[in-house]
Structure 1
Amino acid sequence: MIGRYETPNFRRSWGRRPGSATLIDVTSASLGTLRPVHAGVTDYLTAWDEQRRLHEAVASGTEPDTVLLLEHPSVYTAGKRTEPWDRPMDGTPVVDVDRGGKITWHGPGQLVGYPIVKLPDPLDVVAYVRRVEQMLIDVCAEFGLPTDRVEGRSGVWVPSDERGPERKVAAIGIRVARGATMHGFSLNCDCDLGAFDNFVPCGIRDAGVTSLSAELGRQITVAEALPIVEKHLPTILA
């Protein structure tokens, strides 16, 4: 069942592109309810504030599991394992956040998803990350791009081939508090991959970064990827 849902708080505080304020309930009798929120282009700190508000509400049971789907203006964010030498070499400002992982970039042409969902007891964070990975693998497959996991590394990867070593097409960074998740995933659609040249993405030096467009040889926009990601979102629920 698909229904519509809007919150006054969202309407009042979020910048977005025209037509991007549609909020949709995706309901499954077997998987429960997951509410995707289309937030358009939203600066990182505004989105982080909304994540924290939603996290408190979801953890308290006053709002349903929610996924923020958006693009950010160009920004670097650093997870808890970021080392000083991981940061951009030119001194570009970095937002330090409370997720796992190291440094990454968000910006135009990249679809970002922040699932705020209540995990079942007993908590199994690794299983949740695997479900997010599987969702992204399924999305890439729908575009005709084979991807997989790489042992010891989070995210979704294009296997090594004649074009080069393994290449990350989607990144994942998660935090769990009070049994509910924060932060999430980013899928490179048609972003400027040069943004990743200024640092070591996720601290991994022996692999590359890619996008759906670069791998498929045609432009895949965030707008094109959005409904495909939304279709596969129930995969992340236990």
Structure 2
Amino acid sequence: MSLYSSCSTSSLPPASGTRVGSATETLGRNRQVTVYQLGLADYEATWARQEELLAATLALKVRNRQAAEEGRPAEPTPNYLLLCQHPHVYTLGKSGKPEHLLLDEAGLQQHGATFHRINRGGDITYHGPGQLVGYPILDLDNFFTDIHRYLRLLEEAVIRTLAEYGLTAGRIAGLTGVWLDFEEGAPNPRKICAMGVKCSRWVTMHGFALNVTTDLSYFGYIVPCGITDKAVTSLAQELGHAVSLSEVEQRLVPHLAALFEAEFTVA
């Protein structure tokens, strides 16, 4: 078992029960996040797994509301983070335009890719091998009820991770995600991490996709996130050499733990 925490391991709670004042108990909130490392995972299967975890958490929140009305103690809601990469796939969010996919069915088959309309926000994006995809299924009642802050913290974790590789990344106003050459007037702004989330009763799903050794040619078959005037890049392209996904993951998760003041434990 591996643990990523904003605290030292000496402050971890015991296996049974929760120590008062620990990172896992803040006004009754559960700050533990279980991490599942799925490897190369089918997109539809991973989406179904997210939906199952989301539904179970929402059902628990309903039971907790009933318990509160009856004066019974509530059960802490869980938090999860699914980490994976996908075979070649294009996904279109609820606000996306189908014409932003530039391939027909024959073209998708030729490039070994699939296409799915999904229930996150945002337009079209690409997932594929060499891309670190993270799906946090967090009950934000355990942290803070602010979806904009949630997105900014996900971005910040990526920004801090890229800084460890000597890359200065940031945000562009009005465009969710993480960018290089993001400053106003910069000659070549390029996206390195896309984000799209859904939130139901403060429980999140979907998440972020960080290009590590991604085959960027697949972005040429879409209008990424509906943006026509900016490029897409990867960590490998910026550094000039390959980087393992596992290394990037090991650097990213502690930043998430610190920003969310949580303990991330690998299942």
Question: Normalised by the size of structure 1, how large is the TM-score?
Answer: 0.83
| Whole-angstrom CA distance in 1 between matches of 2:166 and 2:229 | 25
Alignment partner of 2:89 out of 72, 75, 81: 75
Check conservation: 1:168, 1:210, Cα contact below 8 A: yes
Match of 2:252 in 1: 229
Aligned counterparts, 1:1-238, within 5 A: 4=1, 24-27=2-5, 28=7, 29-30=22-23, 32-59=31-58, 60=60, 64-91=78-105, 92=108, 93-120=114-141, 123-159=145-181, 165-235=188-258, 237=260
Higher relative contact order (CA 8 A, sep 6+): 2
Instruction: State the match for 1:14 in structure 2.
Output: none
Q: Equivalents in 2 of 1:209, 1:182: separation in Å?
A: 24
- One-letter code of the match for 2:37? H
Residue 11 of structure 2 aligns with which residue?
none
In structure 2, runs of 5+ residues without a counterpart are 8-21, 25-30, 61-74, 109-113, 262-267
* Partner amino acid, structure 1, of 2:103: M
Work out which of the two has the higher radius of gyration on C-alpha atoms and give 1 or 2: 2
Deviations 1:117-166 (A, max 9, x none): 011387311111011111110111111111000000000000169x9520
Cα distance between partner residues in 2 of 1:145 and 1:74: 27
Q: 1:34 deviation in Å?
A: 1.5
1:148 counterpart SS class: strand
* Deviations 1:213-234 (CA, angstroms, capped at 9, x unpaired): 1011111121221111222222
Deviation digits for residues 178-233 of structure 1 (CA, Å, limit 9, x no counterpart):
22000000000011000100011000011000000101111112122111122222
- 1:226 and 1:200 map into 2 onto residues whose CA distance is 27
Identity within the alignment, %:
38
**Aligned-pair RMSD on alpha carbons?**
2.3
Does the Cα contact within 8 Å between 1:36 and 1:230 map onto a contact in 2?
Answer: no
Q: Deviations over 1:69-116 (max 9, x none)?
A: 001011001101111221233443420100000000000000000000
| Pairwise CA distance, 1:63 | 5.7
Amino acid at match of 2:226: G
1:187 maps to a residue whose letter is L
SS in 2 for 1:155: strand
Contact in 1 for aligned 2:171/2:182 (Cα 8 Å): no
Q: Is the 8 A contact 1:51 1:182 kept in 2?
A: yes
Gaps of 5+ in 1: 5-23
Q: TM-score, normalised by structure 2?
A: 0.75
* Offset at residue 35 of structure 1 (A): 1.5
Q: Does the CA-based 8 Å contact 1:90-1:198 persist in structure 2?
A: no
Q: In the comparison of the two structures, how many residue pairs are matched?
A: 216
- Cα separation, 2, equivalents of 1:197 and 1:164: 20
Q: What amino acid does structure 2 have at the position aligned with 1:210? A: T
Deviation of the 1:62 alpha carbon: 6.8
Q: Distance in 2 between matches of 1:111 and 1:122?
A: 25
